[in-house]
Amino acid sequence: MLQSASAPRGYTLPLSRESFFVPFRRFLYTLAMYLLTPAILYRLAARGLRYREYFERWRERFGYSTAELEESIWIHAVSMGEVNAALPLIDALMTRYAGMKFVVTTVTPTGSERVRRVYGERVVNLYLPYDLPASIARFLDRIRPRLALIMETEIWPNLFFECEARGIPLIIANARLSEKSLRGYSPILPLVQRALAGVSYIAAQSTTDAERFTALGAPAQRLGVIGNLKYDMSVPKNLIEEAATMRDAWGARRPVWIAASTHDGEELAVLKAHAEVLRRFPDALMLLVPRHPERFKPVAQSCRSFGFVTRTRSEDRAASSDTQCFIVDTLGELLNYYAAADAAFVGGSLVPIGGHNVLEPAAFAVPVVVGPYMFNFAEINASLTEAGAVLQVLGGDDLGVAITHLLADAVLRKRIGQAAQAAFERERGSVLRTLAIVEKALGG
């Protein structure tokens, strides 16, 4: 008798039925993936109309590439946020396994561009193929990984099964699972349970994440709370000096705040907030960093329609003393502008996206304001809130009041910023714990 992944806990099915149901479910899942492929390609093409990089390197999404490696260590990070979280771990791995080839896959062009900007030719950067058996097989044949590290929440059954069949240790690093994602896996829950059974280790960010992975069927003996890799992000010392240089060019004494990683539905609230800030501080500068490149131009147009003196990073290179709104329409420079700000609003939190990384401004002791939707960073947000290191507003109408209050009170800014930085420093260490798991998976 064998415990069934599809049966309630404590209920067993004969091995013959279990042996039948998992392949059958995988067949149905794979059939659905093939049927959905035209729709996926259509969506990719539609995005390519706004951001041309989506048109490039299509063959990689089906496992075709020029990569031909004898062996490698493979890290997958879906987009720019996951790439940024993975950077400290990748750096540690490249130091520990200096003789190995490294492959870093992403799904989005922004993630790919971030990888190439940071590592250049030191890693092989590819798009992760769709979860189709033939595509996965071609991909693995080309990169021949000794180890697969999947960042955060990327559970692809065919990929996991193929790694297990080839004896490739697979670790889910910095693993997190929102309540929404947990519900989203419900239609293929038995298949996901079986896929997780072949995972070498799940390094969860928090106790809550570990509990949700347990509910998803992860084996308890290969699941642990390791912490969040984002706390181990490196803070280049030269950024402080560069930030001071930028402030001198803008006007050293003028108030500066940043609205970072904003989404459609948030920018209007941000612009209204800046209008409110300008009534109190007529010389204030707002740095506006849209999350997605396809929003760069529309956001710049919106700023100008509000009557703000607006410049952009791509066209004007830098803000000047009379600039009221500066659009950072480039990738990979967010930390530079966090370091130069007096206060920060972190987007994805006024709309139900779930928020973005509040630790980046915290690392520079910059006080942080967020909206009500922080479910993707619930543990971090709760920790910072408890430490008095973040201000959470109920909606966009409150944003201008919060930012104005921070810009007007230097003592408050310093207290909140120092609390944020202290919380950031206190939680570091996940990279070393994850590296120990990797070493064990690779046999010491």
Residue span of the structural domain in which 103 resides:
2-227+429-441
Q: How many domains does the chain have?
A: 2
Where residue 209 falls among pLDDT bands split at 50, 70, 90?
very high
Cβ neighbourhood burial of 97 (10 Å; 0-12, 13-18, 19+): middle
Q: For position 318, which CATH number holds?
A: 3.40.50.2000
Distance CA 193, CA 159 (A): 14
Residue 232 lies in a domain: no
Same domain, residue pair 215 and 252: no
Residue 404 lies in a domain: yes
Same domain, residue pair 155 and 24: yes
Residue 365 lies in a domain: yes
Predicted pLDDT of residue 1: 27
Share of the chain above pLDDT 90, in %: 76
Same domain, residue pair 435 and 418: no
Q: What's the pLDDT tens digit per position in 400-423?
A: 999 999 999 999 999 999 999 998
DSSP state of 397: G
Same domain, residue pair 108 and 149: yes
Neighbour count for residue 178 (Cβ, 10 Å): 17
Please state the rounded mean pLDDT for residues 275-298: 96
Same domain, residue pair 19 and 167: yes
Please state the rounded mean pLDDT for residues 203-208: 93
Same domain, residue pair 74 and 105: yes
Token pair in block for residue 143: 């990169």
Is pLDDT above 70 for 8? no
Where residue 195 falls among pLDDT bands split at 50, 70, 90?
very high
DSSP state of 46: H
Distance CA 116, CA 119 (A): 5
Please state the rounded mean pLDDT for residues 130-135: 96
Q: What's the pLDDT tens digit per position in 423-433?
A: 889 889 999 99
**What's the chain's Rg over C-alpha atoms?**
23
Distance CA 130, CA 303 (A): 38
Predicted pLDDT of residue 444: 57
Pairing mode, strands 102-106 and 343-346: unpaired
Decide which of 444 and 424 is more confident: 424
Question: How high is the mean pLDDT of the chain?
Answer: 91
CB of 214 within 8 A of CB of 193?
Answer: no
Decide which of 33 and 18 is more confident: 33
Q: What's the pLDDT tens digit per position in 293-308?
A: 889 999 999 999 999 9
Residue 299 lies in a domain: yes
User: Given 82, 266, 360, 427, which residue is catalytic?
Assistant: 82
Pairing mode, strands 325-327 and 223-225: unpaired
Residue 247 lies in a domain: yes
Please state the rounded mean pLDDT for residues 381-410: 94
Please state the rounded mean pLDDT for residues 91-104: 96
Share of the chain above pLDDT 70, in %: 95
Predicted pLDDT of residue 21: 67
Residue 233 lies in a domain: no
Beta-bridged to residue 126, according to DSSP, are: 105
Same domain, residue pair 76 and 124: yes
Distance CA 21, CA 18 (A): 5
Same domain, residue pair 112 and 182: yes
Same domain, residue pair 422 and 433: no
Most confident option among 10-24, 37-51, 192-206: 192-206
CA proximity to 188, closest of 48, 26, 69: 26
Number of H helices, E strands in the chain: 18, 16
Q: What's the pLDDT tens digit per position in 238-263?
A: 898 999 999 999 988 999 999 999 99
Residue 4, CB-side half-sphere exposure with 13 Å CA sphere: 15
Where residue 11 falls among pLDDT bands split at 50, 70, 90?
very low
Same domain, residue pair 213 and 346: no
Please state the rounded mean pLDDT for residues 315-330: 95
Same domain, residue pair 16 and 67: yes
Cβ neighbourhood burial of 164 (10 Å; 0-12, 13-18, 19+): middle
Residue 134 lies in a domain: yes
Is pLDDT above 80 for 318? yes
Please state the rounded mean pLDDT for residues 227-241: 87
Distance CA 416, CA 366 (A): 8
Where residue 125 falls among pLDDT bands split at 50, 70, 90?
very high
Q: What's the pLDDT tens digit per position in 41-77?
A: 888 777 777 777 777 788 899 999 999 999 999 999 9
Beta-bridged to residue 345, according to DSSP, are: 259, 369
Same domain, residue pair 131 and 175: yes
Is pLDDT above 70 for 345? yes
Single-letter residue type at 95: T
Residue 246 lies in a domain: yes
Active site residue 82: yes
Residue 408, φ and ψ in degrees, nearest 5: -85, -15
Is pLDDT above 70 for 5? no
CA proximity to 151, closest of 203, 220, 112: 203
Q: For position 40, which CATH number holds?
A: 3.40.50.11720
Distance CA 368, CA 346 (A): 7
Token pair in block for residue 134: 């033939």
Q: Which residue has the tokens 């967020």?
A: 370
